[in-house]
A and B are shown apart, each in its own frame.
Chain A
Amino acid sequence: MKSKIQKFFVMLSAGITFAALLFLIAYILIKGIPNLKLSLFTWKYTSENVSMLPAIINTIYMTVLVLVIAVPLGIFSAIFMVEYAKKRNPLINVIRLTTETLSGIPSIVYGLFGMLFFVTALKWGLSLLAGAFTLSIMVLPSIMRTTEEALKAVPDSYREASFGLGAGKLRTVFCIVLPAAVPGILSGIILAIGRIVGETAALVYTAGTVAETADSIFDSGRTLAVHMYNLSSEGLHVNESYATAVVLLVLVAAINMLSGFVARCLDGGTK
């Protein structure tokens, strides 16, 4: 009898979890798709026609900028952690502790730090650049971690064979180990893109909320998620908010699936 009750609750919980997700997606899609009008994708944002295209373009700028900063940093630090640092090196523990700390910090604290440091102290003003640096710190730990996992998954025999053929350490890392780890690294990067696209709190006070397409990286501009935040907090454009929610949801779902797909390529590659 007790077993039956326990089983019932397990099934019920799983049911609630997936029903809630399904309901959220279905609700946003059903309410949002009829509101996806072509006029929402015009080049110019006006207060009558709250076009989301400038925000989409800003999101692309932002994503590229963040990746340019965070991907090399993340991959290089992962290379240091896995390939170069000695196991007993106390620095490893410090770096591990700081990355764990970074991954737990809420995005609003990042936003506030970005405002104090990049926007005010470095005098960059509200700009894509300040937002991008803030987000780079935010996604750095996850890129580092996935890259580390991917590097560790490369069998040592690859390295030994490369050394045996007379290649140096650097060449081994770049020509043998990194290429073998690409799918894992890529799936981590794609997940980071998902976070960049969905981030709001860290950007409001760093990249600002200007609704136009940014002219340069020193210009302020809102990304799609910030755009949606502004629309829904103003409360004047509920239909447009639905439409923006659909675009965000579809983007994030596509990014997630792509990441999963790339990660599965890794499984297929090594087994």
Chain B
Amino acid sequence: MGRRTKIENTVSLLKEKIMQAVFFIAACTSILAVALICIFLFANGIPAMVKIGLPEFLTGQIWKPGNNIYGILPMILGSICVTAGAAVIGVPIGILTAVFMAEYCPKQIYKPLKMATELLAGIPSIVYGFFGLVVLVPVIRAIFPMETDGMNILTAAILLGMMILPTIIGVSEAALRAVPRSYYEGALALGATKERSIFSVMLPAAKSGVIAAVVLGIGRAVGETMAVMMIAGNQPRMPKGILQGVRTLTTNIVLEMGYATDLHREALIATAVVLFVFILIINFAVAFLNRKAAD
């Protein structure tokens, strides 16, 4: 009898140890994944950067894979223009909607509206892109019939501005709600109006969180691919005005990866490396801001 309990004890102890190891290994998969992504992207992308020459690759204004000319400056600027446009449209609307959700929204309609913002985040980008293609593009074409066929920076910026709304609303609202209620009450007690309390006390207090929301939204806009591809025109040339079609870093990859070979293929992977570095910078900015907000 005593012997049996001893065996059972050893078995259960072994089980504990094994499962602990399993949990540990599972937790390490995310480290492994990031390492693999970095290794494979850099190993396949950097040789192309070396062959083309880093300055020529990053600042070259011409992208002509047929002639072995690979300059991605038009795509870098394209991404920046489209993202900046999206921020101009999405950031103010997003932050003000967050103010509405946190401070103005009547209790009875809060839940459905909250679900609506979550749905906004859940709609697939391909559906957004299609919506842009069948609604926004004809509208823009009708407004500026001489200048554009409807696929341009402006169209992409409007659609992306809409797509980053849920990110900005969600994170800003959480930041506003994290501000102690006494701040608001104190401002009211000093005779400030509700609006003054919100805009002069609450928003500044929630600053780090709101900035993190904006940066997250920008990250989403930089990384968006399918929706942009359907409505931005995709011409690989230097952007000269908001009514011109552009190509972004993300769409450059999707458009040509299907048939690219050799150096062309490597140049596309190198494009992804540039995109990846952009995103890493944005991620670290968000992590930094979150830490600051937590202090």
Chain A's interface: helix, strand, loop or mixed, by majority?
helix
Cross-chain contact of B275 among A24, A106, A205 (Cβ < 8 A): A106
Binds B, one of A33-41, A48-56, A175-183, A249-257: A249-257
- Whether B122 and A256, one on each chain, are in contact in the complex, defined by CB atoms closer than 8 angstroms, is yes
Mark interface residues in A59-89 (1 if CB within 8 Å of B CB, else 0): 0000000000000110011011101110000
- Whether B282 and A112, one on each chain, are in contact in the complex, defined by CB atoms closer than 8 angstroms, is no
Closest to B111 in A: A260
Chain B's interface: helix, strand, loop or mixed, by majority?
helix
A256: chain B residues at CB < 8 Å are: 115, 118-119, 122
- Whether B41 and A113, one on each chain, are in contact in the complex, defined by CB atoms closer than 8 angstroms, is yes
- Whether A80 and B230, one on each chain, are in contact in the complex, defined by CB atoms closer than 8 angstroms, is no
B226: chain A residues at CB < 8 Å are: 200-201, 229
- Whether B279 and A106, one on each chain, are in contact in the complex, defined by CB atoms closer than 8 angstroms, is yes
Interface size class of A (residues with CB under 8 A): 35 or more
Mark interface residues in B122-148 (1 if CB within 8 Å of A CB, else 0): 111111111101110000000000000
B174 interfacial by beta-carbon distance below 8 Å? no
B126: chain A residues at CB < 8 Å are: 198, 200, 225, 228-229, 232, 248
Mark interface residues in A100-129 (1 if CB within 8 Å of B CB, else 0): 111011111111110111000100000000
- Whether A109 and B275, one on each chain, are in contact in the complex, defined by CB atoms closer than 8 angstroms, is yes
B216: chain A residues at CB < 8 Å are: 104
Where the two chains meet, the residues of B that have a C-beta atom closer than 8 Å to any C-beta of A are 12, 15-16, 19-20, 22-24, 26-31, 33-34, 36-37, 40-41, 44, 92-94, 96-97, 99-101, 104-105, 113, 115-120, 122-131, 133-135, 162, 165, 169, 193-196, 198-199, 216, 219, 222-226, 230, 250, 253-254, 257-258, 268-269, 272, 275-276, 279-280, 282-283, 286-287
Where the two chains meet, the residues of A that have a C-beta atom closer than 8 Å to any C-beta of B are 2-4, 6-7, 9-14, 16-18, 20-21, 24, 27-28, 31, 72-73, 76-77, 79-81, 83-85, 91, 94-95, 97-102, 104-113, 115-117, 121, 137, 140-141, 144, 168-170, 191, 194, 197-201, 204-205, 225, 228-229, 232-233, 238, 241-242, 245, 248-249, 252-253, 255-257, 260
